[in-house]
Structure 1
């Protein structure tokens, strides 16, 4: 059988109903690039789904960008954002009329319902109330993770969504990334036999950690959510989703080791701009990161005129947390965190979140009775013990423009695409991350944090 006929017979070009390493080993090249198929349940829309965005920061912009590129599918007709710069930018991008621009989320719900859906991309501690209000008014919801800061609030949202028969899609975008979709397919098809254990690793990357969880919006768990939810509920969720078994027990350890006041170098100052004597050699120099290298400057709300950027960045570093010394913040998020999870059928999993890496991109090893998988989101390598053959799969997906290194493997826009279809058809089964499906991994996260603090193995009760 030649390569073309084999690909056709296996359906690889349209999604692979069946993939076995034995069959693919017949190919002359054991590396295969693939993309997700078009969902046969998707339909042409008579008109775009309309949405109001609450929170026009990074994640709100990611989902809004889908509407910019695919206006026939999604139309953003309103925005609530207290930051005037972001409100203006978002309203201009989506041509939102003044009467549908709001400073706070509360103002949106003082108006009669004027869209099909609400996109909630507010800070973590502002998810619950707008979500409950939107459900009460009959909106469908695209809800950024984490669902809410407490288990009770998560369960409240689930209960009201069911009562009002509304769609709540949780932004567990890794479920939509071709890399993890294929991993789940292969496991379900028995490519490595019964799953025995999983090792999953999330390297945050040291500068990302300093940016988001030391200086940034999530630096204080009491004001937002614990890092296991703020950052790693993606990972707990994807482990559970890929092996498709319920979780039973979890144990966790971790702490804040390095980003503490006692580790501040001699000669350092409250801000990198205050004449710090070690700023030039410090790996966490805000001046080098934001000003010299122009990294992650989207949080600084830079004006369109690039000629002013240097001056504006330095001003932001003198007036915001992004210019403060990483050793002198009010941060409490652990910079290393490990969990051990027991799933049904005696499957065990370990998850490690680490700040101190020079790289990012999730790594996963899955051990099965008849083979194993090793991957880094760029490539998935499958070994079959029965044949001794190795298969390498390389996912192809369009990442969000301007967010090529989002770390989500293209899942952001696949999620929005499915959400639009689910709302248009009023069919939540078109989504893989409805709140019904996503709440378990949040409970895993809450129990992991309890375990870490109480030094106990915690049962997971759904």
Structure 2
């Protein structure tokens, strides 16, 4: 099992040293572990093409100028200058970055997904296995490392629910989050990244396998489409407008870029401004955000984008022994990524919301509430949980601290590819046959 919240591993008196490749939101988040526990981890280098991001991470972690690089190629050219690397570049670059640092013997934590093609996923495992020093390899499947899911798994393993018969899992992406990331943003087009189930929900599929550890998936089906974010759904009153700031229906539009990015600037109670993720400025103001909306895709009408990833999808899986599980992803929610869980067993039912969960005992007719101590950060504390487990694994040079093997990471991704194949081809996919079909897949070029 992954490490608990207690920072108990022995660093041998020296913190694990880390370089960060990609100083965006995910790289910054994982690196934050070193700020909380400087005696256990220290960030000593960064590679990031955007100067502001590179400067911010360097200042936060006091990285010397000689270890600040514009590209990971430049960083890798210095050889191995740290124990481990955190890879947080765009999804389609993961496989190449992992290959470069695996050759140098770095322990590797790669943000999800592994890669955007099966060929690259297989090559990644090959590169890791061929790396000197038998490195630890982790992937950003953060959900399984949250205190919440750790507690859920403990209840399952205790037998309190009896035999698990069915699991229902929902990923409410959040209306603004989806429009920002998957309609206007970096993950809006499959050719530039991958399909939505992989980029957004591969760790949701992974959590089902985590709950049911030891059971192989047997069959999978899936349905989904672009239900709303397409030109045919554009209000007639919007006319030919392609930018929100010049659209006559903007005041009444749910998806207005002005409402998402500009209005929060004058709202003292606003907890988040998505503009900070794409405006290259230390301080956001109406002028620089407005300029960005006029000159980038973030100001585009959601019905006029060239997005091609689904905005809602269901996945149905049958595991060994007839156990069934389903995962639903939807853009059309108030809740932002606060997953919902229902686990049905022969002795009880578990219902949770990523913060707390109840267990109803069928025999005693009593209900018990579990409220695990959260660890801060997003994904219910899973971000810090994964960083903790990875650092512990590196410190002990033991993959077991991560609670998952590279082969299991690969199989989790293959299940996502199988589900997407089922959706596209409108059929039930036999997972064993699907997996066999890629046993001899050639390396990606």
TM-score by length of 1: 0.87
1:81/1:394 Cα in 2 relative to 1: closer, same or farther (>3 Å)?
same
| Structure 1 counterpart of 2:383 | 412
- What is the DSSP-based 3-state SS (H/G/I as helix, E as strand, rest coil) of the residue aligned with 1:409? helix
Counterpart-to-counterpart distance in 1, 2:429 and 2:145: 29
**Partner residue in 2 for 1:183:** 152
Per the alignment, do residues 260 and 110 of structure 1 end up closer, same or farther by CA in structure 2, a change over 3 Å counting?
same
CA distance in 1, matches of 2:292, 2:373: 37
**Cα deviations by residue, 1:283-305 (Å, 9 ceiling, x for unpaired):** 1111111111253232134533x
Aligned to 1:31: none
Deviation at 1:271, TM superposition (A): 1.1
2:281 maps to which of 280, 300, 303: 303
Q: Distance in 1 between matches of 2:425 and 2:81?
A: 47
Three-state SS of the structure 2 residue aligned to 1:303 is coil
State the alpha-carbon separation in 1 of the partners of residues 293 and 186 from structure 2.
15
Secondary structure at the residue paired with 1:395? coil
Q: Find the aligned partners of 1:71 and 1:39 in 2 and give their Cα distance.
A: 11
Q: Please give the residue correspondences for 1:189-268 in structure 2 after superposition, counting only pairs within 5 Å.
A: 189-244=158-213, 245-268=215-238
State the partner residue of 1:7.
none
In structure 2, the partner of 1:330 is 306
Kindly indicate whether residue 315 of structure 2 is the aligned counterpart of residue 339 of structure 1: yes
Q: 1:106-117 to 2 correspondence within 5 Å? A: 106-117=73-84
CA–CA separation in structure 2 for the residues paired with 1:214 and 1:426: 41
Shift of the 237–418 alpha-carbon distance from structure 1 to 2, 3 Å rule, reads: same
Residues 1:378 and 2:348 aligned together: no
Kindly indicate whether the alpha-carbon contact (under 8 Å) linking 1:64 and 1:76 is maintained by their aligned counterparts in 2. yes
Matches within 5 A, 1:409-448: 409-448=380-419
Deviations 1:165-207 (A, max 9, x none): 2111111111111111111111111111000111111111111
Segments ≥4 residues shifted beyond 3 Å: 301-304
Q: How far apart are residue 68 of structure 1 and its match? A: 2.2
Conservation of the 8 A alpha-carbon contact between 1:175 and 1:432: no
Aligned equivalents of 1:234 and 1:278: distance in 2? 37
- Give 1:432 shift: 2.0
Partner of 1:387: 364
Q: 2:113 aligns with which of 146, 158, 171?
A: 146
**SS of aligned partner of 2:236:** coil
The answer to whether the aligner puts 1:55 opposite 2:22 as a matched pair is yes
DSSP 3-state at the match of 2:235 = coil
Inter-CA distance 205–173: structure 2 relative to 1 (3 Å threshold)? same
**CA contact under 8 A between 2:224 and 2:313: conserved in structure 1?**
yes
| Alignment-derived partner of residue 174 in structure 1 | 143
Judge conservation of contact 1:55–1:120 (CA < 8 Å) in 2. yes
1:172–1:433: 8 Å Cα contact kept in structure 2?
A: no
Provide TM-score, normalisation by structure 2: 0.90
Where do 5+ consecutive residues of structure 2 fail to align? 266-272, 436-445
Query: Structure 1 residue 399 and structure 2 residue 371: aligned?
Result: no
Match of 1:21 in 2: none
Give runs of aligned pairs for residues 269-288 of structure 1, distance below 5 A. 269-273=241-245, 275-288=246-259
Q: Give the counterpart of 2:40 among 56, 73, 77.
A: 73
Deviation at 1:310, TM superposition (A): 2.0
Between 104-113 and 166-175, the greater mean CA deviation after superposition: 104-113
**Contiguous gaps of at least 5 residues in structure 1:** 1-14, 16-34, 401-405
SS of the counterpart of 1:222? helix
Mapping for residues 78-97 of structure 1, pairs under 5 Å: 78-97=45-64
Is the CA contact (8 Å cut-off) linking 1:167 and 1:434 kept in structure 2?
no
What is the aligned-residue RMSD (CA, Å)? 1.8
